[in-house]
Homo-oligomer: A and B are copies of this chain.
Amino acid sequence: MPKTIYQSIYKDLKQKIENDDFSYQEMLPSENTLIQKYGCSRNTLRRAISCLVTDGYVQTMQGKGVRNIYRPIEQTSFTIGEIESFRESAKRNGLEPYTRVLLFAELALNQKQAAYTGFAPGAEVYYLQRLHYLDGLPLILNHNYFLKEAVPGLTKEIAEGSIYDYLENTLHMTIVNSKRVMTVEKITEIDEKYLKLNVEDYNCLAVVSSQTYNSDGILFEYTQSRHRPDYFRFYDNAVRNK
């Protein structure tokens, strides 16, 4: 549930757009109209609109108005966009998730590992390999590194469910942001084995490497997600600012 006014307005407008209350290319009511309708201040309404712009739902034009440019996307494959756990994504995509823990280890990072994870050399981490299934199909092979100091008490059992649920609801950690890099990499033997890919077909994967920070400003997670290429989709809306 939205706790703030601008969030509830944002949510309401977003839903109206998704529900086709405004047709593609149609203008939304003017700021003043919406201000009256929602009984809020101008800044508050503008903030809600601004979120819709970021989402790529609408476009604002000085002197003209706000135009709906939303188009529904095909949900045929597994899509990524925001920060969310595998289970959240699965639910959003309407699919049945299952997670298998291939490896659960504890280790101290050497120089090389420290360099690509972003942790300090010698840092104590949980290192996990997890295989994520969707509707019975293995789609993603994850290499997770969790800083022990920040994520105490992690177990294999927790890792089989939702780690993010554990972080947020048990440890009461607040996840803030995640820096991500997307690349295409050659398939390894491990990928081939677990993702059941035919090298003749695909010899590459979509790889998303992410560094995630909590509200203490601590980098607590480095994850490399190796995706089956034929089920990978990443959405983004970029805004040009001169």
User: Which positions in A face B, CB cutoff 8 Å?
Assistant: 25, 53, 56, 59, 61, 67, 69, 71, 82-83, 118, 175-186, 201-206, 213, 215-217, 219, 229-230, 232-241
Residues of chain B with a CB closer than 8 A to A238's CB: 82-83, 177-178, 180
Q: Which listed residue (B82, B179, B217, B232) contacts A25, Cβ 8 A?
A: B217
**How far, in Å, is A81 (CB) from chain B's closest CB?**
8
Output the least CB separation between A3 and chain B (Å).
9
Given A67-B217, A204-B204: A235 and B180 interface contact (C-beta under 8 Å): yes
Contact of A177 among B82, B203, B217, B237 (CB under 8 A): B237
Which residue of chain B has its CB nearest to the CB of A77? B183
- A217 adjacent to B180 (CB under 8 Å): no
Per DSSP, chain A at the interface is strand
Residues of B within 8 A of A69 (CB): 177, 213, 217, 219
* A184 partner residues in chain B, CB cutoff 8 A: 184, 202, 204-206, 229-230, 232
Across the interface, A59 reaches (CB within 8 A) one of B177, B206, B229, B234, namely: B177
Q: In the complex the two chains form, what is the Cα distance from A46 to B18 in whole Å?
A: 31
A201 to B230, CA, bound (A): 18
Q: In the bound complex, how far is the Cα of B209 from the Cα of A237, in angstroms?
A: 11
In this complex, what residue of B is CB-closest to A61?
B215
User: In the complex, are the beta carbons of A202 and B203 less than 8 A apart?
Assistant: yes
| A239 CA to B216 CA, complexed, in Å | 15
CA A206 to CA B204, docked complex, whole Å: 10
Interchain residue pairs with CB less than 8 A apart (26):
A53-B177, A59-B176, A61-B216, A67-B217, A69-B213, A69-B217, A69-B219, A71-B118, A83-B239, A83-B240, A178-B238, A179-B235, A180-B236, A180-B238, A181-B235, A182-B182, A182-B233, A183-B206, A184-B202, A184-B205, A184-B206, A186-B202, A202-B204, A203-B204, A204-B204, A234-B234
